[in-house]
């Protein structure tokens, strides 16, 4: 594990205390952490998945639009936020690592440190409803 910026460490600590599902990535999109409420929706504990590249997590959960078509990696809100450094929101379906389909509302925000250093992004999400 490489040394993380202080703001990333503090964001991870904050996320661990919140009931809101949170997913944290570095500037390249590599997953750094997701909290316990996110584990329930993603279907696996973070300790079991660990850190992973954007290419891995962007397809791992099989994101699909409401009409069933796949969401391209570059169209995922967190990837769009990393590129634009602006907030982005959407909703889509995923298949958790427990095999359950979930309809998620998501809000992605850039993570800026002191002196406006770009540190990555944070995804806040919640389940819209049970799968049909």
* Domains of the chain, earliest start first: 23-130 (3.30.450.20)
Residue 132 has a pLDDT of 42
- Assigned token pair, 36: 């316990």
Q: Are strands 101-112 and 31-34 parallel, antiparallel or unpaired?
A: unpaired
- Assigned token pair, 54: 């954007």
- 2 has pLDDT over 80: no
Question: What percent of the chain is helix, strand and coil (3-state, nearest 5)?
Answer: 35, 35, 35
Residue 70 makes CB contacts below 8 A (sequence gap 6+) with 62, 63, 64
- 64 has pLDDT over 90: yes
As separate numbers, helices (DSSP H) first and strands (DSSP E) second, the chain gives 5, 5
Where would I find the beta strands (DSSP E) of 9-100? Answer: 22-25, 31-34, 88-95
Q: Note the pLDDT tens digit of each residue in 13-39.
A: 999 999 999 999 999 999 999 999 999
Residue 3 has a pLDDT of 67
């Amino acid at each position: 594990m490489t040394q993380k910026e202080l703001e990333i460490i503090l964001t991870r600590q904050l996320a661990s205390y919140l009931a809101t599902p949170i997913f944290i990535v570095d500037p390249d999109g590599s997953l750094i952490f997701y909290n316990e409420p996110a584990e329930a929706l993603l279907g696996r504990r973070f300790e079991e998945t660990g850190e992973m590249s954007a290419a891995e997590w962007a397809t791992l959960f099989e994101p699909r639009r409401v009409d069933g078509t796949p969401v391209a990696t570059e169209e995922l809100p967190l990837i769009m936020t990393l590129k634009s450094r602006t907030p982005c929101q959407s909703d889509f379906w995923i298949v958790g690592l427990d095999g359950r389909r979930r309809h998620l509302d998501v809000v992605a925000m850039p993570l800026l440190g002191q002196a406006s250093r770009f540190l990555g992004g944070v995804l806040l999400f919640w389940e819209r409803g049970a799968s049909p």
